[in-house]
């Protein structure tokens, strides 16, 4: 369970004026699939980075299972059980898929085990195990390896930032199956940032973020019809 209390984030813009990215976000995330959606620039990715420790909030507290992790580093949060699949996967010259998957798992994985994870994300495993994570892989391939790393980590709280981007050759049904398998193995929460209707459709809870504030929050049946028709009701 992850709890955010009064999280705010503001940065000075180029004119030196303070620009608010996130305003007073308070929520408890405990469901199986939670999807955060909203327009571009609404602060979704920033919120994900704040949870992973990459961005430090300017105000507020974060708790993981009642432990205050606000001052935890990225490393400490990862060790405490938070995984983060980046929207834009990082390339590494020299490090192979096998290396990264082993680092994700925290132990040396067998080729068979790496193949299992890669097969889950629809990659023909044997072709990839010893490939470097460099420019020779397509964006879609890197994205799927990024998701496979989250599977290998298997932590109690996983964040996926736009997992559907660049996976057009693969099916949504397969991606959703990956989320289900991840939940089955971790019994934790999976926080997905997405615009995709088909991903919104599997959510146990949908949170709409607009201009740094939560404008709707609840079951998909409650939130989606209004959100998709563009008449999102204000909450609170």
Partner 1 sequence: MDEIQKRLLLEIADLHEIPEGAYNIRSNGEKAGRRTTENIDIVTKTDKPGIDIIIKPGTKHESVHIPVVLTKTGFEDTVYNDFYIGDDADVLIVAGCGIHNCGNQKSEHDGIHTFYVGKNARVRYVEKHYGEGEGTGERILNPTTIVHVDEGGYLEMETVQIKGVSSTDRRTEGDVAKGGSIVVKEKIMTHGDQYAKTYFNVDLNGEGASASVVSRSVARDRSVQEFVSVVNGNSACTGHTECDAIIMDEARVTAKPELTANHVDAALIHEAAIGKIAGEQLVKLMTLGLTEEEAEAQIVNGFLK
- Whose CA is closest to 50, among 39, 40, 60, 36? 60
Is residue 48 at the binding interface for partner 1, with CB under 8 A as the rule?
no
Is residue 165 at the binding interface for partner 1, with CB under 8 A as the rule?
no
Interacting residue with partner 1 among 95, 129, 165, 232 (CB under 8 A): 95
The residue range among 57-65, 90-98, 111-119, 137-145 that interacts with partner 1, by the rule CB under 8 A, is 90-98
* Residue appearing with tokens 């999280």: 7
Minimum Å gap between C-beta 72 and partner 1 is 11
Contact status, residue 158 vs residue 150, Cβ threshold 8 Å: yes
User: CA 108 to CA 99: how far, in whole Å?
Assistant: 8
Is residue 78 at the binding interface for partner 1, with CB under 8 A as the rule?
yes
Minimum Å gap between C-beta 45 and partner 1 is 13
Interacting residue with partner 1 among 10, 27, 103, 202 (CB under 8 A): 103
CA angle 76, 81, 84 (to 5 degrees): 90
The residue range among 2-10, 81-89, 115-123, 191-199 that interacts with partner 1, by the rule CB under 8 A, is 81-89
Minimum Å gap between C-beta 9 and partner 1 is 17
Minimum Å gap between C-beta 201 and partner 1 is 28
Structure tokens at 156: 């109690």
CA angle 120, 51, 231 (to 5 degrees): 85
- Whose CA is closest to 236, among 212, 206, 214? 214
φ/ψ region of 77 (left if φ > 0, alpha if ψ in -120 to 50, else beta) reads: alpha
Contact status, residue 24 vs residue 18, Cβ threshold 8 Å: no
Is residue 191 at the binding interface for partner 1, with CB under 8 A as the rule?
no
Is residue 226 at the binding interface for partner 1, with CB under 8 A as the rule?
no
Binding residues (CB under 8 A) for partner 1: these are 52, 54, 73-75, 78-79, 82-84, 86, 90, 92-96, 99-100, 103-104, 106, 149, 153
């Amino acid at each position: 369970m992850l709890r955010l209390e009064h999280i705010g984030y503001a940065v000075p813009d180029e004119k030196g004026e303070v620009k608010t990215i996130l305003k007073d976000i308070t929520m408890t995330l405990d469901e199986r699939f939670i999807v955060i959606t909203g327009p571009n620039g609404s602060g979704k990715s920033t919120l994900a980075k704040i949870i992973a420790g990459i961005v430090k909030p300017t105000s507020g507290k974060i708790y993981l299972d009642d432990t205050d992790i606000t001052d935890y580093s990225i490393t400490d949060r990862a060790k405490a059980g938070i995984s983060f699949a980046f929207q834009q996967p990082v390339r590494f010259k020299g490090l192979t898929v096998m290396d990264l998957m082993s680092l994700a798992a925290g132990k040396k994985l067998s080729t068979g085990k790496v193949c299992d994870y890669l097969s889950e994300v629809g990659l023909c495993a044997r072709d990839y195990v010893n490939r470097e994570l460099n420019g020779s892989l397509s964006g879609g391939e890197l994205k799927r390896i990024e998701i496979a790393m989250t599977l290998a980590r298997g932590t109690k709280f996983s964040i996926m930032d736009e997992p559907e981007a660049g996976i057009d050759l693969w099916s949504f049904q397969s991606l959703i199956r990956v989320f289900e398998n991840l939940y089955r193995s971790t019994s934790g929460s999976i926080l997905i940032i997405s615009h995709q209707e088909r991903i919104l459709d599997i959510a146990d809870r949908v949170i709409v973020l607009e201009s740094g504030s939560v404008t709707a929050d609840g079951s998909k049946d409650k939130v989606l019809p209004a959100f998709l028709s563009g008449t999102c009701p204000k909450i609170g």
